[in-house]
Amino acid sequence: MNRLQGKAILIAGASANIGAATAIRLADEGAAVMLGARSTDRTGAIAARIREKGGRAETVCFDAADDASIAAMVAHAAQTFGGLDGMFVNMAELTLHKQDTDAVTVPLEVFDRAVAVNLRGHLLCARHVVPVLLERGGGSIVFTSSSAAFMGRDRGISYTVTKHALTALMRHVATSWGKQGIRSNIVSPGLVLSEKNRNHPEMDKVLANTPSPRLGEPEDLAAAVAMLMSPDGEWINGQILCVDGGVVMR
């Protein structure tokens, strides 16, 4: 499929797993991709792999907690490709798991850090990329939530709150700039077998509660994002696409 020929797409959080698989998939479908990450340690090799296959890929560094660095990342991507048609906002602070307890006991610095990266960082991406997409008459923004945001959970309050709040951000963007050609959607992964999840302690339990016969792979999310970036997703706006084997049905 060549659905993304001629498109330029920025991926924020492209160093591994879902972000890396998506960069590869978007490039395979013809897009020029800018791989954003905190360093180029891993994105450099992914971009090289894309270029070896004849695709166009560049790298840029950013810190999701820093407004100026997000502004610079978006500006660099637009300048490199002569504009942008889409952005996949995928980064999340995933190192807080043990401390991210419940509303009564969670340390406020843990909550604040989750908000800074998972929510404020996504807001900043929207803030900086919307004007750039409008210059081309619109485009597609996809944010990454989590099935955790749509279920009751007794821990992980910070992560869950930030992921749930993305729904409001995503729908605000869809509503505010939809008429100008901007589409804004969410992909919501279930348990995806990323590097660290391959030994997830609750893997068997999650699989037992998943209607589909397997857990997710990064490529499952990549396929969903590619559709939302492509003309096939042209009339999809303001939606949450649960890519989770049927765990969340809403």
Ligand X SMILES: NC(=O)c1ccc[n+]([C@@H]2O[C@H](COP(=O)([O-])OP(=O)(O)OC[C@H]3O[C@@H](n4cnc5c(N)ncnc54)[C@H](O)[C@@H]3O)[C@@H](O)[C@H]2O)c1
Which amino acid, one-letter code, is at 73?
A: M
Report d(CA 105, CA 155) in Å as an integer. 10
Which amino acid, one-letter code, is at 168?
A: A
The correct pick among 23, 46, 64, 129 for binding ligand X (CB under 6 A) is 64
Q: Nearer to ligand X by C-beta: 17 or 140?
A: 17
Nearest CA among 72, 66, 119 for reference residue 91? 119
Are the C-beta atoms of residues 36 and 12 closer than 8 Å to each other?
yes
Q: Nearer to ligand X by C-beta: 128 or 138?
A: 128
Instruction: Output the smallest distance, CB 187 to ligand X, in A.
Output: 8
Report d(CA 168, CA 166) in Å as an integer. 5
The answer to whether residue 93 forms part of the interface with ligand X (CB under 6 A) is yes
The correct pick among 49, 63, 172, 236 for binding ligand X (CB under 6 A) is 63
Are the C-beta atoms of residues 41 and 64 closer than 8 Å to each other?
no
The correct pick among 8, 15, 96, 184 for binding ligand X (CB under 6 A) is 15
The answer to whether residue 10 forms part of the interface with ligand X (CB under 6 A) is no
The correct pick among 90, 158, 210, 230 for binding ligand X (CB under 6 A) is 90
The answer to whether residue 149 forms part of the interface with ligand X (CB under 6 A) is no
State the catalytic residues.
159
Cα 239 versus chain centre, distance = 14
| Window of 45-53, 88-96, 171-179, 205-213 that interacts with ligand X by CB under 6 A | 88-96
The answer to whether residue 245 forms part of the interface with ligand X (CB under 6 A) is no
Report d(CA 179, CA 195) in Å as an integer. 40
Q: Give residue number: closest CB to ligand X.
A: 17
The correct pick among 3, 40, 56, 65 for binding ligand X (CB under 6 A) is 65
Structure tokens of 128? Answer: 């900086």
List, in sequence order, the alpha helices (H) in 121-195: 121-135, 157-177
Size of residue set near ligand X by CB under 6 A? 25
- Strand partners for 187: 144, 241
Instruction: Output the smallest distance, CB 117 to ligand X, in A.
Output: 5
Report d(CA 79, CA 119) in Å as an integer. 26
Cα 120 versus chain centre, distance = 14
The answer to whether residue 72 forms part of the interface with ligand X (CB under 6 A) is no
The correct pick among 140, 144, 230, 237 for binding ligand X (CB under 6 A) is 144
Q: Pick out residues in 179-238 that bind ligand X (CB under 6 A).
A: 189, 191-192, 194, 197
The residues binding ligand X (CB under 6 A) are 13, 15-19, 37-38, 62-65, 90-94, 117, 144, 146, 189, 191-192, 194, 197
